[in-house]
């Protein structure tokens, strides 16, 4: 009898530690994909950034450069770029000193 109680408790713990968070994450992703709109700025799972120009049932047309549009699957959308994220990226400066340090091959 004690073994059955422990087994049930173990499976309950597994459910709340692994399965339930995964279900919440899937639900959140589905709602993000369902809420996509034209002119949203997105990043694909491959790292391509673009602006949504057309929405279709299973895919999107995004503009990745001026007059360059590609069609991607909805499931390829990694996340939507929020306006707050854009402001952070504009404020950051990339330092480039142009110098490349060569590795020493001495033994």
Confidence label for 67 from pLDDT (cuts 50, 70 and 90): very high
Sign of the alpha-carbon torsion through 85, 87, 88, 92: positive
pLDDT in tens, 35-56: 999 999 999 999 999 999 999 9
pLDDT at position 25 is 93
Residue whose C-alpha is closest to residue 70's, from 62, 78, 79:
62
Which structural domains are found in the chain, ordered by start?
36-86 (2.30.30)
- pLDDT for the residue numbered 102: 56
Binned at pLDDT 50, 70 and 90, residue 100 comes out as low
Residue 76 has phi, psi (to 5 degrees) of: -85, -5
pLDDT at 15: 87
Q: Do the Cβ atoms of 44 and 77 come closer than 8 Å?
A: yes
Closest CA to 54 of 71, 41, 42: 71
């Amino acid at each position: 009898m004690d073994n059955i109680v422990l087994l049930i408790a173990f499976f309950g713990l597994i459910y709340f530690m692994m399965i339930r968070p995964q279900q919440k994450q899937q639900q959140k992703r589905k709602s993000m994909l369902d809420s996509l709109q034209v002119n949203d700025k997105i990043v694909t799972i491959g790292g391509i950034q673009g602006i949504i120009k057309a929405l279709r049932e299973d895919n999107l047309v995004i503009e990745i450069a001026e007059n360059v549009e590609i069609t991607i699957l909805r499931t390829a959308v990694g996340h939507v770029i929020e306006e707050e994220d854009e402001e952070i990226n504009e404020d950051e400066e990339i330092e480039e000193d142009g110098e490349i340090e060569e590795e020493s091959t001495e033994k």
